[in-house]
Amino acid sequence: MASGTITSTEYIQHHLTNLVYGKLPAGHVGHDGVMLTQDTWTFAHSSQEIAAMGFWAFQVDSLGWALALAILLGTAFRWAAVKASQTTASAPSGLANFLEMAIEFIDNQVKDTFQHKNPIVAPIALTLFTWIFLMNTMDLLPIDVVPKIAAAVAGNDHLFFKVVPTTDPNITLGMALAVFLLVLWYSFTRKGLVGFIKELTLHPFSAKNPVVQAIFIPVNLALELVNLLAKPISLGLRLFGNMYAGEMIFILIALMYSGGWLIATAGDFFAGLGGTLMFVGGGLLQFVWAVFHILVITLQAFIFTILTVVYLSMAHDVADEHH
């Protein structure tokens, strides 16, 4: 809340809106009042323009930050691997030590959860955990700093710019969809088409009588399809919902903090005293919530990762296997 030029509602809406690039249809009246004579690819200047762009629009800020953090992550692991190969007797330190701890932690979790042989499951889990953790960590940055820098660079004070990719359902559901495709792939390759169909139609209800079993088939199929489709949806929405709620709390605390400062500097003694209490209280709440949020961002990255490993383990399970 930089000044009194916008209301609290506008401030919240602005911080919750992505920088979107998409195609506005011909006939749409733009933010400048000019009607478009043809379909035009452009950046959205309002929530109405975002809605008019439809499904095929790109959240540039979410995609940009997700890609930048992925490159940063890959660079860090590459650097740590090179350094580890050059180190002989001395123990790793600093970033290399932290990454080694992360690798060991995820490796142990995969060994405990995934009871099959697949060399790519642990790397997938490590990538998901560290990448999601980095994206979640962006929520710890001061709520106004990066958007203001982006607005200054773009020369647009009203620029939409979100910095936490996991508060965008397109990002979280996109990752969940990738996991879902892996689950389907291993379900087919491990069990075969017939085995996969049997899994969907002969469970959870079964009977020795073929007539009764035939009656159970559509019931089983409906239940198993719901269960199957619920996995990626719940996986993506759980991460999005928790991070979105955390961001909303940061925004509300920022409103309290900046609002307290405006009241404290208004000139009236009693109002200034109340504003000072709001200002100090908001600052303390920012610190307390940030400390607590460190646990939240770590836990959400871990939950997404461990559920992915569980789903992949279930996809590898074959009915006649005995462990």
* Full pLDDT tens readout for the chain, 323 residues: 444 467 888 888 988 999 999 999 988 887 778 888 899 999 998 888 999 998 889 999 999 999 999 999 999 888 888 877 775 555 666 777 888 888 899 999 999 999 899 999 999 999 999 999 999 999 999 888 999 999 999 888 889 999 999 999 999 999 999 999 999 999 999 988 888 898 888 888 888 888 888 888 999 999 999 999 999 999 999 999 999 999 999 888 888 877 766 666 666 655 666 677 777 777 888 888 889 999 999 999 999 999 999 999 999 988 655 44
Instruction: State residue 323's pLDDT score.
Output: 40
Backbone angles phi, psi at 41, to 5 degrees: -85, 125
Instruction: Pick left, alpha or beta for residue 183 (phi over 0 → left; psi -120 to 50 → alpha; otherwise beta).
Output: alpha
| Domain locations in the chain as residue ranges | 59-316
Instruction: State residue 24's pLDDT score.
Output: 92
Structure tokens at 271: 């109002």
**What's this model's pTM, rounded to 2 decimal places?**
0.88
Query: How many other CB atoms are there within 10 angstroms of residue 36's CB atom?
Result: 15
Active site residues: 234, 238, 242
3-state SS, residue 144: coil
Distance from C-alpha of 32 to C-alpha of 151, rounded to nearest angstrom: 19
* CA angle 18–19–25, rounded 5-degree value: 105
Tally the C-alpha atoms within 13 A of residue 149's C-alpha that lie toward its C-beta.
7
